[in-house]
Amino acid sequence: MIETILLGGDLRVRRLGLGTMRLPGPGVWGPPTDRAEAVRVLRTAVDLGVNFLDTADSYGPAVAEELIREALHPYPDDLVIATKAGLLRPEPIVSPGPWPRCGRPEYLRQQAELSLRRLRVERLDLFQLHRVDETVPFEDQIGALAQLRDEGKVRHVGLSGVDLRQLRAAERIVPVVSVQNRFNLLHRSGTDVLKHAERHQLAFLPFAPLAQGGWGSAAAPLEQIAHDHATTVSQVALAWLLHRSAAILPIPGTSKVRHLRENIEAAQVSLPAEVIEQLETL
């Protein structure tokens, strides 16, 4: 298995990262229920070799970025922190509450400035547009990212929740190095974007790689597979993603060191061909 990805041609990252959306309090809102554990999750991840963290201004809001700084600043040289902007957080998530979009260029700019301050860095390694805002001209949103990149405030630009048409349109404005879309054992649409990522050396960051814990009717067969191969359901799901494409860099989210360790160990799980086949038909 290929163990690393060269993000944007210059950032070598291991293929299992950490998503930080689970670190703030319930509803991705406010401080963590157990702050010490949240800090431990981040430090343990780095100790275990994770060097790609996915975060966003909207996680908390601000809380996940503040925790990253608290736990890890000054950062190890090889740590890559990917953040995002473009979603508002007027209230905690009330399931399945929407996160309103705001892609106004001046807002994206402001949020980049705030992320720089919170993370205490001179430049954001990867700045992702969280969602395209259909009420703002597309060129203005991507243009804001391009401008931040030109000014050196952002090293690389990524997109999130985009289709192939949007990705191609953005690439005509600014180099795009990653796409973050929902993709897991139960949600495999949008493979055209994945194929594009493979062909053009973009990283594909599947969000909700563990289906956010909701395996539904697939839970029973997955548990059986995990049991038969002395592994766990989460490890099966992550091993499948790592096997699915060399462009994929999963970013499982957790608030618990126990789960973090289990997830990282998934990189060592190799699923036999017949299991992969079985998973394809889930």
CB atoms within 10 A of CB 11: 21
Among the listed residues 52, 59, 207, 240, the single catalytic one is 59
Amino acid at 103: G
**Region binding ligand NAP by CB under 6 A among candidate stretches 107-115, 119-127, 208-216, 240-248:** 208-216
- In whole angstroms, the minimum distance from the beta carbon of 218 to ligand NAP comes to 13
Neighbouring residues of 176: CB distance < 8 A, sequence distance ≥ 6:
157, 158, 159, 167, 170, 202
Decide: is 256 part of the binding site for ligand NAP (CB under 6 A). Answer: yes
- Contact pattern for ligand NAP over residues 96 through 135, marking x by CB under 6 A: ----------------------------------x-----
52 sits in which H/E element? strand 52-54
Question: Strand 154-160 relative to strand 124-129: parallel, antiparallel, unpaired?
Answer: parallel
Decide: is 212 part of the binding site for ligand NAP (CB under 6 A). Answer: yes
d(CA 64, CA 199): 32
**Region binding ligand NAP by CB under 6 A among candidate stretches 6-14, 139-147, 166-174, 211-219:** 211-219
97: left (phi over 0), alpha (psi -120 to 50) or beta: beta
Decide: is 207 part of the binding site for ligand NAP (CB under 6 A). Answer: yes
Decide: is 209 part of the binding site for ligand NAP (CB under 6 A). Answer: yes
Neighbouring residues of 214: CB distance < 8 A, sequence distance ≥ 6:
none
- In whole angstroms, the minimum distance from the beta carbon of 181 to ligand NAP comes to 8
107 carries an active-site annotation: no
- In whole angstroms, the minimum distance from the beta carbon of 260 to ligand NAP comes to 7
Q: Which is nearer to ligand NAP, 40 or 256 (CB)?
A: 256
Decide: is 259 part of the binding site for ligand NAP (CB under 6 A). Answer: yes
Closest by CA position to 194, among listed 251, 244, 129: 244
- Contact pattern for ligand NAP over residues 158 through 197, marking x by CB under 6 A: --xx------------------x-----------------
For residue 158, give the 3-state DSSP assignment: strand
Decide: is 255 part of the binding site for ligand NAP (CB under 6 A). Answer: yes
Alpha helices for 27-178 (secondary structure H): 35-47, 63-72, 105-119, 138-150, 164-171
Name the residues that contact ligand NAP, by CB under 6 A. 19-22, 54, 130, 160-161, 180, 207-213, 234, 251-256, 259, 262-263
**Known catalytic residues?**
59
